[in-house]
């Protein structure tokens, strides 16, 4: 890649500036020396741009005072902010101003609306009809893990798997989507780059970038699905991201707080339950409980739901491969993963077919089957 193009790319994606010249060299196929030079120049230009932006803001502020006949000495406080379109906004209080409570409240509300997320295309709200629930379950994507894939390629594989599973379900009357997220959605707990218990992990990006990237990837998936049918999101913490998955779940719940087509379960319990017609589904990562004891856990934690439902299943992640056992008529299903292998798994000889699966739940007949797509 030519040096000037590399510099512009780093300015557009400043996350690479924190990853160091070695990472930039690997990703963009340039020498470490050229990578270091490009990082330095991109940082210098970004700093200059920020400086010019600050100067422009002060200049616009001075023009604002002049146009409104306000003496600078009479200004007691100033608030600067920028709209999503990049337009400068000022809030000026002078010695002669006496704002009422109503005016202050209005100012806060106007300020808050600038940053409120936009609810895009709305699908019909939840309603009872003859149809099915379509559960798209892609556990253990380990977002941010160092593999042979770039983070962008891993994101596109995740989205293309969802698109494929939806495309294969075209003949179904989908009443709603069930979307379990988490189950080692992120590869590590964050700054310390370890699992929740402390096992060191090789991440390809920083902890801030991995958290923001994972949350934005989930909103991409939810936005795509909710344009077709309402979405029920179930947040499941894993053994790699037990803490951070709760934070990500709260982010996503807040993001869709005004959207009636998205329901997010980010409750405090590590095991989550969904009831749909005759079906009872328990979601858990599968690293803590013994599979043979899971049916009794279901009956103990949710006795009324257990009594109402005649079809009961447990859906787990953790193992990265498909395994199904049945205990007293209750299936415990470990669901495969689409995550690419890292060096450690290849060295140990661990390999599994990278598979995305989606389950078809009938209100009256229970699980009617599943569709799947193979990731290569």
Host domain of residue 86: 3-115
Residue 128 pLDDT: 47
Assess whether 63 and 139 both reside in one domain. no
Tokens of 354: 């990278």
Assess whether 30 and 159 both reside in one domain. no
Residue 319 pLDDT: 93
Assess whether 103 and 210 both reside in one domain. no
Residue 104 pLDDT: 57
pLDDT, tens digit (0-9, with 9 covering 90-100), for 1-10: 788 888 888 8
CA distances from residue 278 to 274, 297, 304, 309 in whole angstroms, order as listed: 11, 19, 13, 5
* pLDDT under 50: residue ranges of the chain: 128
Assess whether 18 and 159 both reside in one domain. no
Q: Which of 226, 165, 163, 230 is nearest to 369 (CA)?
A: 165
Residue 329 pLDDT: 95
Assess whether 232 and 322 both reside in one domain. yes
Residue 276 pLDDT: 98
Quote the number of domains for the chain: 2
Instruction: Tell me the C-alpha distance between 203 and 318, whole Å.
Output: 18
Residue 351 pLDDT: 72
Assess whether 354 and 249 both reside in one domain. yes
Instruction: Tell me the C-alpha distance between 25 and 46, whole Å.
Output: 20
Strand partners, 356: 373
**Model pTM?**
0.67
Assess whether 340 and 197 both reside in one domain. yes
Q: Output the domain CATH number for residue 212.
A: 3.60.21.10
Assess whether 84 and 227 both reside in one domain. no
């Amino acid at each position: 890649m030519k040096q000037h193009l590399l510099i512009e790319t780093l300015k557009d994606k400043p996350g690479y500036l924190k990853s160091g010249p070695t990472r930039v060299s690997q990703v963009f196929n340039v020498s470490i020396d050229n990578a270091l030079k490009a990082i330095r120049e991109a940082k210098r230009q970004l700093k200059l741009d920020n400086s010019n932006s600050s100067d422009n803001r002060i200049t616009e502020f001075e023009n604002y005072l002049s146009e409104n006949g306000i003496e600078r000495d009479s200004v007691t406080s100033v608030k600067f902010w920028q709209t999503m379109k990049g337009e400068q906004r000022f809030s000026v209080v002078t010695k002669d101003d006496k704002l009422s409570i109503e005016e202050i409240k209005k100012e806060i509300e106007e300020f808050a609306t600038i940053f409120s997320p936009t609810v895009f295309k709305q699908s019909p709200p939840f309603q009872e009809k003859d149809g099915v629930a379509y559960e798209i379950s892609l556990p253990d994507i380990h977002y941010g893990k160092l593999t042979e894939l770039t983070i962008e390629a891993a994101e596109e594989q995740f989205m293309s798997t969802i698109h494929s599973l939806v495309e294969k379900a075209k003949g179904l009357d989908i009443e709603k989507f069930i979307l379990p997220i988490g189950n080692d959605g992120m590869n590590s707990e964050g700054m310390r780059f370890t699992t929740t218990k402390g096992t060191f992990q090789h991440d390809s990006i920083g902890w801030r970038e991995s958290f923001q990237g994972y949350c934005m990837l989930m909103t991409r998936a939810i936005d795509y699905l909710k344009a077709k049918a309402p979405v029920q999101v179930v947040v499941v913490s894993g053994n790699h991201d037990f803490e951070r998955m709760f934070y990500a779940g709260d982010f996503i719940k807040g993001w869709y707080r005004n959207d009636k087509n998205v329901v997010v379960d980010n409750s405090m319990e590590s095991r989550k339950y969904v009831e749909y017609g005759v079906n009872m589904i328990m979601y858990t990562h599968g690293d803590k409980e013994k599979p043979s004891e899971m049916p009794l856990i279901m009956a103990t934690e949710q006795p009324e739901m257990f009594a109402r439902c005649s079809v009961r299943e447990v859906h787990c992640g953790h193992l990265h491969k498909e395994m199904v056992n049945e205990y007293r008529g209750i299936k415990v299903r470990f669901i495969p993963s689409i995550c690419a292998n890292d060096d450690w798994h290849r060295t140990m000889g661990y390999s599994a077919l990278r598979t995305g699966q989606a389950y078809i739940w009938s209100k009256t007949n229970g699980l009617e089957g599943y569709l799947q797509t193979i990731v290569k």
